[in-house]
Amino acid sequence: MPFVDQAIEAYAEAHTTQVDDRLQRLDDETHASLSWPEMLAGPVVGRLLETLVWATRARLVVEVGTYSGYSALSMAAALPPGGRVVTLEVSDEHADFAQRHVDASPYADRVEIRRGPALASLASIDGPIDLAFIDADKSGYVDYYEAILPKLADHGLILADNTLRNGRIVDPENDGDHALARFNDHVLRDERVVVTQLTVRDGVALIRRR
């Protein structure tokens, strides 16, 4: 059973400003041609990310886990002049799919897709990182968080997706659930940060420095 009632989820989506045709086509093609389309951020989380980039005036956004490029393009739309999104993807299939949509968008000069293991890519990125979005393999969340935090701007934000695991986080059932439970506990105990768990879709943790 979904953590958020499906009627409420549909209402939230219907009462979120509609995405443009380009993103809707990306959404449709993701569902038609890629495995695990539920990994797509979707319009509510996409608009949340876009709004946070707009509100923070983030100039460097780092995303761990590109998938089909939906969230990267959502965030790129709100960048100030000179801003950029660096998105990290280990799957060539996903990177190829996302690159095609990035190239066809108005934001091709703002979005860089880096291929390969995310930790190696993170090590090559100089800060300060104004906003980071973690949405990749769940077992790596703690390591990604620890790699990003030292490079986070003083007023930067880290967001982590899927932190409520469709409600299973209170009684973990599988490896992904247990990994997210460990991540949530790790961040909560970290005296360097303040975390807020948002009950948006599958759960989004919003993290800032103290």
pTM: 0.94
Residue 50 has a pLDDT of: 98
**pLDDT(1) > 50:** no
Contacts of 116 (CB under 8 A, 6+ apart): 88, 90
Contact 172, 184 (CB under 8 A): no
Residue 3 has a pLDDT of: 61
Q: Express each pLDDT in 24-57 by its tens digit.
A: 999 999 999 988 888 888 899 999 999 999 999 9
Show the 3-state SS of the chain: CCCCCHHHHHHHHHCCCCCCHHHHHHHHHHHHHCCCHHHCCHHHHHHHHHHHHHHHCCCEEEEECCCCCHHHHHHHCCCCCCCEEEEEECCHHHHHHHHHHHHCCCCCCCEEEEECCHHHHHHCCCCCEEEEEECCCHHHHHHHHHHHHHHEEEEEEEEEECCCHHHHHHCCCCHHHHHHHHHHHHHHHCCCEEEEEECCCCCEEEEEEC
Mean pLDDT of the chain: 94
Which CATH number does 6-209 carry? 3.40.50.150
Residue 83 has a pLDDT of: 97
**pLDDT(171) > 90:** no
**pLDDT(70) > 60:** yes
Residue 23 has a pLDDT of: 95
**Buried-exposed string 98-111: b where 16+ CB fall within 10 A, e elsewhere:** bbebbeebebeebb
Q: Express each pLDDT in 143-159 by its tens digit.
A: 999 999 999 999 999 99
Angle at 138 between CA 132 and CA 141, to 5 degrees: 40
Residue 46 has a pLDDT of: 96
